[in-house]
Chains A and B, each alone.
Chain A
């Protein structure tokens, strides 16, 4: 086989993959609904690794007695669909839905079960738990998120109709963090 054709084929393959990755995220951003999520303080030893901030949300910890009182089959690693609704300022988790039972006007975010605690709580990740920052800029956010700090940190995420979410903006005390 002609090596020149192969080289260009590899380039096309790489281009398709990288553009595909960008397109899937851009699709979520351009078609999805903006939701404001409240973050909760995390252990300061863990949440900053290198140059990104680890975010934990109020919706990351689901109380099953509220969001899914009739269902108990929640295995670690399983995907779940969580319905979000606006409550005062932030959007909150109101129920866990089946994939085939999602209405078009609902905002559903897809998550993966990280832990299923015995006390009826689920720890869920939604793929929006990291926020990359320029080198050395993480310290400010780290200070704002420390347990006991009076600052509020919130995130504007965009959720598309398939439940995929992307972090759009980060706010500290309602001011957008810009670098």
Chain B
């Protein structure tokens, strides 16, 4: 149950991290994907030469598709065949077939494993006409070896609590196939087995598994060499191991993993995956640290975070910047929570949301202050979505009603952050940033959030007014996005304005009419309203988008 719960939590955590990052990075334009493929075709037809092709790719910031690495049909069929055969043998063993005496069964399976291994060697090295078959047979022998170990364990009734040992006895002895025959399929299998082993070992022995990262850093990653899938699988395995730690309070393991990943990045600078993974892994350490020492703020975290920010700017990596901004916000809130415990102050909902909203505004202003627009965009996106999200939370009357009391510490903290936001905004104003029409829309959104936050903070008991103010700001958000989108001719921002408006209407509809005793009317009226409103909005949206395209 611990494992299932842990994995589910990891999934949710993973999604919450992945989604904003995905938004920041954006999807690759389908036209660019098409262009990537077409360039190769034009080069083959001699319409353009390789240099011209490279220039076009550089112009659109695209990478060349590696044709050589694409799997062909033969490889896929033989690989699937090997997997089927391997699985068949494992299921055969699992069915615990009693007709053949135990030791003969073991002998047959071991014999088959050895013959397959030899044939794999033969077709890979001796007879070079079937290299794909050779690779698949080597992989198949790795699967058969797993089946043999499972059979022996079954004969002696070795219990499932010792499954970690079974997996380890499967994974380690097949490593020579990866190393000496450079067999990528087996590398993937071993990587997956070690990930499974790590969780089984930890849960079975109730200890942090330091052997796993050591095996990955010393054996698996060097063996993966330039094989991206193998490398990424092991990095993901390390991250899973790191984010597993907060649940079981293994404090130093995620730090150990983080330092290892950062060292890998510093050694192989061209491979940025290590930098991303190190950033995420430090977050795992910070969460673990907090879960163990709730009343001790983690200032040590700032040291790796500052290093990671420095490396991020050096690399100009938008993805890593997004991760680090998130880490910083997380650190700030954990520290605030810790101090609230130390000073016995209530960690109030309203002030926390207002503090987060102020952080959002500050991030946005940092974003627009960047000379490098690309590096400024993660700040802008995080800042804007944060400020919007906080206003949305404050727009619920019930939320405001249940949280009217807050402590002095949080009140002054909120005020201080709002003050910083205002000072930064004035600074931008004096530098004439808000002269353009688009920037004026931005200013309107930022000002309305600041004013509404201050109003709610100062008047916690004016629930009705507070709700109206927060809702008015939501409408401002929708209007700003729509007009900013039109001004910048950016359909994505325009559409997000429509989405905010729709969300606002639906939320308020549910808020007001859910209390009705007769729920059928709630759905009937709501459904009709949404169909008619949706049709109207879609019509208007198309009109504006058509105008934009013209």
Q: Please determine whether A3 and B156 come into contact, CB atoms closer than 8 angstroms.
A: no
Q: Please determine whether A6 and B180 come into contact, CB atoms closer than 8 angstroms.
A: yes
B106's partner among A4, A18, A125, A135 (CB-CB below 8 A) is A18
Segment from B14-22, B147-155, B341-349 that makes contact with A: B147-155
- Chain A 132-148 residues near chain B, CB threshold 8 A: 132-135
- Chain A 1-57 residues near chain B, CB threshold 8 A: 1, 3-4, 6-7, 9-11, 13-15, 17-18, 21-22, 25, 49-52
- Contact A135-B160, Cβ < 8 Å, known A7-B121, A9-B176: no
- Contact A50-B152, Cβ < 8 Å, known A18-B110, A77-B205: no
Q: Please determine whether B94 and A51 come into contact, CB atoms closer than 8 angstroms.
A: yes
The residues of B that contact A172 with a CB separation of less than 8 Å are: none
A135 → chain B, closest Cβ, in Å?
A: 4
Q: Please determine whether A13 and B152 come into contact, CB atoms closer than 8 angstroms.
A: no
Q: Please determine whether B121 and A127 come into contact, CB atoms closer than 8 angstroms.
A: no
Assembled-state Cα–Cα distance A40/B51 (Å): 77
Assembled-state Cα–Cα distance A17/B425 (Å): 69
Assembled-state Cα–Cα distance A24/B378 (Å): 59
Assembled-state Cα–Cα distance A115/B415 (Å): 50
Q: Please determine whether A17 and B169 come into contact, CB atoms closer than 8 angstroms.
A: yes
The residues of A that contact B159 with a CB separation of less than 8 Å are: 125, 127-130
Q: Please determine whether A130 and B206 come into contact, CB atoms closer than 8 angstroms.
A: no
Q: Please determine whether A127 and B95 come into contact, CB atoms closer than 8 angstroms.
A: no
B182 → chain A, closest Cβ, in Å?
A: 11
The residues of B that contact A122 with a CB separation of less than 8 Å are: none
- Contact A3-B180, Cβ < 8 Å, known A22-B152, A25-B156, A167-B157: yes
Does A117 interact with chain B (Cβ within 8 Å)? no
Segment from B111-119, B249-257, B472-480, B497-505 that makes contact with A: B111-119
B109 → chain A, closest Cβ, in Å?
A: 9
A118 → chain B, closest Cβ, in Å?
A: 17
Q: Please determine whether A51 and B96 come into contact, CB atoms closer than 8 angstroms.
A: yes
The residues of B that contact A11 with a CB separation of less than 8 Å are: 114, 117-118
Assembled-state Cα–Cα distance A68/B79 (Å): 56
- Chain A 141-166 residues near chain B, CB threshold 8 A: 166
> B88-118 vs A: 1/0 string, CB under 8 Å?
0000001111100000001000100110011
Closest to A178 in B: B98
Q: Interface size on A (CB < 8 Å)? A: 36
- Contact A21-B96, Cβ < 8 Å, known A14-B110, A127-B161, A129-B161: no
Q: Please determine whether B176 and A6 come into contact, CB atoms closer than 8 angstroms.
A: yes
A1's partner among B94, B177, B180 (CB-CB below 8 A) is B180
B156 → chain A, closest Cβ, in Å?
A: 4
- Contact A131-B157, Cβ < 8 Å, known A4-B121, A14-B113, A18-B149: yes
The residues of B that contact A9 with a CB separation of less than 8 Å are: 176
Q: Please determine whether B157 and A125 come into contact, CB atoms closer than 8 angstroms.
A: no
Does A76 interact with chain B (Cβ within 8 Å)? yes
Q: Please determine whether B148 and A18 come into contact, CB atoms closer than 8 angstroms.
A: yes
Closest to B152 in A: A21
Assembled-state Cα–Cα distance A14/B154 (Å): 18
The residues of B that contact A134 with a CB separation of less than 8 Å are: 95-98
Assembled-state Cα–Cα distance A17/B114 (Å): 13
- Contact A135-B95, Cβ < 8 Å, known A1-B180, A18-B148, A18-B149: yes
Q: Please determine whether A18 and B152 come into contact, CB atoms closer than 8 angstroms.
A: yes
Q: Please determine whether A14 and B160 come into contact, CB atoms closer than 8 angstroms.
A: no
Assembled-state Cα–Cα distance A82/B180 (Å): 46
Q: Please determine whether A3 and B125 come into contact, CB atoms closer than 8 angstroms.
A: yes
Assembled-state Cα–Cα distance A77/B162 (Å): 12
Assembled-state Cα–Cα distance A25/B159 (Å): 13
The residues of A that contact B155 with a CB separation of less than 8 Å are: 132
- Chain A 75-131 residues near chain B, CB threshold 8 A: 76-77, 112, 125, 127-131
A7's partner among B118, B154, B173 (CB-CB below 8 A) is B118
Assembled-state Cα–Cα distance A76/B121 (Å): 46
B149's partner among A21, A50, A76, A131 (CB-CB below 8 A) is A21
Does B207 interact with chain A (Cβ within 8 Å)? yes
Does B332 interact with chain A (Cβ within 8 Å)? no
B523 → chain A, closest Cβ, in Å?
A: 39
A28 → chain B, closest Cβ, in Å?
A: 9
Q: Please determine whether A3 and B94 come into contact, CB atoms closer than 8 angstroms.
A: no
The residues of A that contact B157 with a CB separation of less than 8 Å are: 52, 128, 130-132, 166-167
Closest to A6 in B: B180
Assembled-state Cα–Cα distance A4/B110 (Å): 19
The residues of B that contact A21 with a CB separation of less than 8 Å are: 149, 152-153, 169
Q: Please determine whether A10 and B176 come into contact, CB atoms closer than 8 angstroms.
A: yes
Closest to A125 in B: B161
Assembled-state Cα–Cα distance A25/B181 (Å): 33
Assembled-state Cα–Cα distance A49/B163 (Å): 14
Q: Please determine whether A166 and B156 come into contact, CB atoms closer than 8 angstroms.
A: yes
> Counting chain B CB atoms within 10 Å of each CB, which of A11, A51, A76 scores highest?
A11
A116 → chain B, closest Cβ, in Å?
A: 11
Closest to B162 in A: A127
Does B158 interact with chain A (Cβ within 8 Å)? yes
The residues of B that contact A129 with a CB separation of less than 8 Å are: 159-161
The residues of A that contact B169 with a CB separation of less than 8 Å are: 17, 21
- Chain B 192-234 residues near chain A, CB threshold 8 A: 205-207
Does B289 interact with chain A (Cβ within 8 Å)? no
Q: Please determine whether B96 and A14 come into contact, CB atoms closer than 8 angstroms.
A: no
The residues of A that contact B117 with a CB separation of less than 8 Å are: 7, 10-11, 14
A85 → chain B, closest Cβ, in Å?
A: 24
A77's partner among B96, B152, B206 (CB-CB below 8 A) is B206
Q: Please determine whether A3 and B96 come into contact, CB atoms closer than 8 angstroms.
A: no
The residues of A that contact B96 with a CB separation of less than 8 Å are: 51, 132-135
Q: Give the 9 A-B residue pairs with the shortest CB-CB distance, closest first.
A: A77-B206, A130-B159, A7-B121, A25-B156, A167-B157, A135-B95, A129-B159, A3-B125, A6-B180
Q: Would you list 20 pairs from A and B whose C-beta atoms are within 8 A, ordered by A residue?
A: A3-B121, A3-B124, A3-B180, A4-B121, A6-B176, A6-B180, A10-B173, A13-B173, A14-B113, A14-B117, A15-B110, A17-B169, A22-B106, A51-B95, A52-B154, A52-B157, A77-B206, A77-B207, A112-B205, A132-B157
Interface residues of A (CB under 8 A from B): 1, 3-4, 6-7, 9-11, 13-15, 17-18, 21-22, 25, 49-52, 76-77, 112, 125, 127-135, 166-167, 179
13 extra interface residue pairs, beta carbon distance < 8 Å, beyond A3-B180, A25-B156, A50-B94: A3-B125, A14-B173, A17-B169, A18-B149, A22-B152, A51-B94, A52-B154, A129-B160, A130-B158, A132-B96, A132-B155, A134-B95, A135-B95
